[in-house]
Structure formats: C-alpha cells, structure tokens
Structure 1
Amino acid sequence: MTIRSHVATRLSTWLSRNRAKLIQAGRMTVSSLLTFALAAGMNLPQSFWAVITALIVTQSSLGSSLKAALDRFLGSVLGAVYGGAVALAIPHQGGVASAIALVVAVAPLSVAAARSAGFRVAPITAVIVLLSTTGSTLGPVAFALDRILEVGLGCAVGLAVSLLVVPAHASRAVRGQAARTARLLAEQLDALGRRDDAAIDAQGLPLATRRSLDRLETLVAEAARERRSRLAAAPDAEPLARTLMRLRHDAVMLRRAAREADLGPDLATPWAEAAAAAARRLRAIADGLEAGTAPPGDDTVFPAAIDAYRAAIDDMRRQHLTRTLSSDVVGRIFWIAFSLDQMRRNLDDLAERAAESAASG
C-alpha cells in the first residue's frame, strides 16, 4: 500500500467516524453566516446576539433545536419585557438606585429560572437591558424590542437550518442509541455467563449502560417533541426505552443472584448457555434497530436454554443435592430461573418494539 492510499484510507475512515460531527459543524457555520447577513440587512444594532442565538438553537437534532429555540425565545422575551419595565419604573444612574433596580429585576426572574430551566436566560436578559450602556443610549423600550428581534431572528434561522440543512431526526437517533444500550447489556450477560464478574467492573459496563439509558431518555423526549410538532411520524419511543430499562433491571438481578449463589458443576453450564443465548438475542435485536429492519422472529434458543437450566435444577432436587445447600443459595438458584423468564418476556417485548420502529421507517 502506497503512502497516498494509506492516507486516503485513514482520511476516509476518519470522515466516516466523524460524519455526524462534521455535519453539525457545517449546520452551525451556515446558521451563523446566514443570521449575520440577515441581521446586517435589518440594521440590528447588536447583531452578535442574533448570531449567538442561532448557534445555540442549531442543535444536533430537530427535537433539541425546537426546545432550545422555545426556551431561548420565551426566556429572552420575559427578561427583556420585565427588565425594560423595571428600568422605566426605577430610575437608576448608579450606586444604590442601580443596586435596588438590579434586585427587583433579577430576584423574581431567578425564582422563575429555578422552577423551570426554560427561563434560565430571562434574568441574564433583564440584566443586559437594565445595565447595558447601549440600553441607556437607546432607551429601555427600544433596546428591549431590539433584543427580542435579535433573539427571534436567531431562533428562526437556527430552526430553519436544522430543518433544511441535512436534518437530523431524534427519532432516528433513538434506534441507534437503543442498539448501543442493548449491546452493552449483551456484554454484561456474556461476562455473567463466564462467571467473570470482575470484567464487568473493569470495563465499567453498569455505568456505561446507565449513561446510555440516560442519553436514550433525552433522545426519546426530543423525538416526542418532533412528533408533537408534526416534524416526524415515528411511533412513540417511550415503550422501547421502558423495555430496555426493564432489561437492565433483569441484568442487575441476574448479576446479584449469580454472584452470591454457588451454582456448582451441575448448574454452571446451563447458566452459561442461557446467559450466552440472551446476549445473542440482544445483539440480533440491536442489529435490527441499527439497520432499521425487523429483528429475527420468535426466538427458540433462549427459551430452550431456560428450560435446560430448570431441568438441571430438577435433576439436583431428584438427587437430593439441594439439601446440602443453604436456603439462601437455593433461593438464589430459583431466583435466577425467575429472572431468566422475566428477561425472556422483556426480550420478546423489545423485539416487538424494534419491529414497530422498523415498520415506521
């Protein structure tokens, strides 16, 4: 391989891996330039606020852009109107008067911001209207109106760019994130089947799974916002997220029971086969989610593995081997069987949710 072809291969790999980030950078660049041009054409006195707003609103998905635009615009309008009213009602030229005006302006808006994250920008906007030197030159009313126009322009352009320039739908990102979560759960089950509990901690799989689910919850909320705004026709992704949360709970219960129970030679092999079968089913469903295709039909391998585990327990009981075990160990052995059954039902539910997602496109 020549140096040129090697560099081309490395560059192609890097571009493929960072495609989403590069597209987002391009959207933000287009958004800022377009906003700057429009603000200059409208002769807005502080066009940089419009550009900043456009950059904030141009998020990685339509759902997040909608939320950012709504929060930014409502917070700015509230802050500008209230800050302008305080500036008119309380003359302030510095000193104690300015301090009093600042308290009257900031305190109520800070309470609103503490109650709702959507109003976080309101007290900042009020302070700008109240204390800005430009505000004192133009007057509080004119400055507040300019501020609303600047923010409104930035929100409009940011939303338009997010919608028209290589739009990214949160509903599509949900499937990819769900697939990543399913694969993390599969890795945990593989390690559990090997009785390699240390590998789970060493790789940080529980924490990675929790963070993946947190990200999935965020995307589900963004997808719901897109659906309410008629920007996407995907089905409700909340059931998909709930099923993955239940599967995470199943994995936690299986890990706790398997770690504290001495399965011995009679149950170690059927347990390992059951855990491996569940991991394979999870990966098959994850592949379907990622590709946007329906996962394989009814699984027979995992149920058969559960039956084999239960049959091994029955053999131990017939041979009176369970009499030598403590009641806690026996309880955990049966608890594993119960948890495996619960996981089978949740995997079937996950496959149905993945099929619904694939059917919607």
Structure 2
Amino acid sequence: MIAATAAAFAAYKTLGLHEGYWAVFTVLIVMQASIGGTLGAATDRLLGTLLGAVLGGIGAALGRTDTVELGLVLVTVTGIAALVASIRPRLRIAPVTAAIMLLSAPPGAPVELFVRDRIIEIGLGGVIGVLAAMLILPARSHGVVIARTLAVLSHIEAMLRAQADALTAGLALPSSPQHGALRQALAAVELAMKDADRERASRLADHGIPASVPRTLWRIRNDLVLSGRALDEPLPQAALAALARPSAAMLTAHAALAARCSAALRNGGTVDRGDVETCYRTFGTALDVFRRSDAAATLDFEASGRVFGLAFAAGRLHRDLLDLAGRVDEIAPKKGPVADRAPPRSVDR
C-alpha cells in the first residue's frame, strides 16, 4: 500500500494531471488482500468510473448554474447511475463518480477533457494498484482460500464435538451462535474463490482448488443444521440408551475427519480417513437394531421424527465429509496413483 501510494503520487505529479489525486484515492480503494481481489476491485472501479464519468459529463455539459436546476440534474444523473448499478452491482461506484463529476466540474472547462482526465486518473490508480499487488509481496488467492477454508473446518469440528457431547450427556443442544459464524466463514470462502478464479482467468495464477469445495462445505453446514434440529431437545431415554454411544462416537469420528482435512490442507497432503467408516457402520447397525425393537414402537411421532432425522442427517454428513476429503486429496500434490475407494454405505431409509 505504501509503495503503490508513493507510485501513484509520483505518477500524477510527473504527468502533470490537474486532479491526479484521484489516482491516489483509487489505489487506496482497490488494494485488497490478494491479487485477484485487487484486480476485481480495480476493474469494477474502472467500469463504474466510465459510466459515472459519461453521465456526470452529460450533466455538466448542460451548463446549469441555478441551484434548483443543478439539483434536478444531479438527482436525475445519480438516479440513472443508481438504477444501472442496481442491475449490475459491479457498477456501484457509478453514482458517486457521476455526482463528483457534476459538482466538481470547473466553470468553463471543456467537458470532454474533464471526463477524459478523470478516466485516465482512476485508470492509472487501478493499474498501479494491480501492479503493486502483483510485484510487491504478492498474495495469491490460493492461500486466502485455504486459510478461510481452515476457519470453516474449525467451526465444523467444534460443532460436531458439541453435538457428540450433548448426546453423551443426554442433554439438549440449543441453537448455537456457531451457525452464524459458520455461515459468515463460508461466505468468505466463496468471495476468496471468486478472486482466485479471477486470477486464473487473467492468467496471473492457477489456484488448483476445485469449485466443488465451497459447495461441499455448504452441504456440510446444512447437514449440521439438520442434526442440530434433532438435538434441540433431549432424545427419548429409549433412543439414548440404544443410540447415544454409537451416535456420539460417529460424530466424534467425523469431527476428527474434519480436523484431518484441515491438517491435509495446511500441509499439502492427503486425508487419512481413520476409523470414520467403522464408526459410521457401527452407528448404522445400532440404528437397525433399535428400529426393530419394541422401544422404537413406543415413540410418538415427534420423537420418532427427531431420532430418524438424526440418522438422515448422519448419512448426509458422512457422505459430504468423505466427498470433502476427496476434494482435499485433489488439491494435494500428486505423488503417485491413488487407490480407488469404495463408496460409503448410507443408513438413510
């Protein structure tokens, strides 16, 4: 940021731009945490500037000096720019640029030169910002995606362990603020993936992260919502006696799998599946035994729905976490052929 600001200041002084401080402002606005983010912000600002400069220039060309007339032109110009920005969010800077162009145009100055200078100044700032992001301690979006994915997996692991503890203790698990934090972390992963894709499209980097990773993480989050709803009240004693221990062991194994996915992403390796398949099959066996028992027949409709809702969520969670592990294996450097794995068995009915 320091280097880019200095370069923008030196460039506009060297080129003798009358209002070249817009190049400095643009650098400060577009610089992001990664190359892809900076490139996206610079592109959006330039596109918004083009639209806003044209609209503001048209308004300034009308030459209105009366306060009421100028206000009407201002409202009209910014309204048109805001309407376009509502349809194309990338142009959200257009209303601001249009208003600045209209209100700061020097009296008597050629409008076309004024518009041209603003586009040059903001374009110059965007180019300097992107070059600085690329050349000075470059931060590729790949690392940002990995870091944010690790944060998501940390939330997932904590929520799975909390559900396992609730089953072991036979207690209810109220709605956790972790759900909101997980949702925000997932949105951050999607944003970083967009920046990474922008880098790849611009041939600045090839991040090598499958697009299915954010989708799989969202599915796991939805699975946690389903299992959380089943545990928002204690399970019936008959179900706890039969299923609490295998259910808790199964959730703990999946939490450990999430932790191993984190370790593999951090270290660039493949994911050890551990005993997750064994624990899941044990849970499935216990569920089948309970389903055929007399105790299951005594459950009312609501209790039965929560017990078998937990089983349904467990099946989805098992499938999606194994799918995530497969995607993490794809990211790891290839060191040789990977043995085919049998598809997971589901206990869904």
* TM-score class normalised by the smaller sequence: 0.7 to 0.9
Distance 1:340 1:163 in 2: 44
Query: Could you say which residue in structure 2 is the equivalent of 1:293?
Result: 269
SS of the aligned residue for 1:176 comes to helix
Distance 1:321 1:114 in 2: 58
Distance 1:359 1:192 in 2: 34
Distance 1:294 1:200 in 2: 35
Distance 1:73 1:63 in 2: 15
Unaligned runs of 5+ in 1: 1-27
Distance 2:308 2:286 in 1: 11
Does the alignment pair 1:344 with 2:318?
yes
> Which 10-residue stretch deviates more, 157-166 or 299-308?
299-308
1:185 to 153, 156, 168: 156
Q: CA deviation at 1:328?
A: 3.5
Amino acid in structure 2 at the alignment position of 1:51: V
Distance 1:141 1:181 in 2: 50
- Matched ranges for 1:1-361 at <5 A: 28-88=1-61, 90-132=62-104, 135-136=106-107, 138-195=109-166, 201=175, 204-260=177-233, 261-262=235-236, 263-296=239-272, 299=273, 301-316=275-290, 320-359=294-333
TM-score (normalised: structure 1): 0.84
* CA separation of 1:218 and 1:360: change in aligned 2, threshold 3 A: farther
Amino acid in structure 1 at the alignment position of 2:268: G
Distance 2:20 2:205 in 1: 32
Q: CA deviation at 1:239?
A: 0.3
Amino acid in structure 2 at the alignment position of 1:109: A
Q: Does the Cα contact within 8 Å between 2:157 and 2:255 map onto a contact in 1? A: yes
* CA separation of 1:314 and 1:113: change in aligned 2, threshold 3 A: closer
Q: CA deviation at 1:317?
A: 5.0
Q: CA deviation at 1:179?
A: 1.6
Amino-acid identity (%):
32
Amino acid in structure 2 at the alignment position of 1:54: V
- Structure 1's consecutive aligned runs of 4 or more residues displaced over 4 angstroms after TM superposition are 196-202
Q: Provide, for residues 179-205 of structure 1, a one-character-per-residue CA deviation record: whole Å limited to 9, x for no partner.
A: 211121111110101117777756x21
Q: Does the Cα contact within 8 Å between 1:79 and 1:123 map onto a contact in 2? A: yes
* CA separation of 1:317 and 1:96: change in aligned 2, threshold 3 A: closer
TM-score (normalised: structure 2): 0.87
* CA separation of 1:288 and 1:50: change in aligned 2, threshold 3 A: same
Q: CA deviation at 1:282?
A: 0.6
**RMSD (CA atoms):** 2.2
Q: CA deviation at 1:318?
A: 5.6
Q: CA deviation at 1:319?
A: 5.0
* CA separation of 1:139 and 1:181: change in aligned 2, threshold 3 A: same
| Structure showing the higher helix proportion among its residues | 1
Distance 2:90 2:324 in 1: 34
Q: CA deviation at 1:352?
A: 1.3
Query: Could you say which residue in structure 2 is the equivalent of 1:24?
Result: none
Q: CA deviation at 1:358?
A: 2.3
Amino acid in structure 1 at the alignment position of 2:85: A
* CA separation of 1:209 and 1:104: change in aligned 2, threshold 3 A: closer
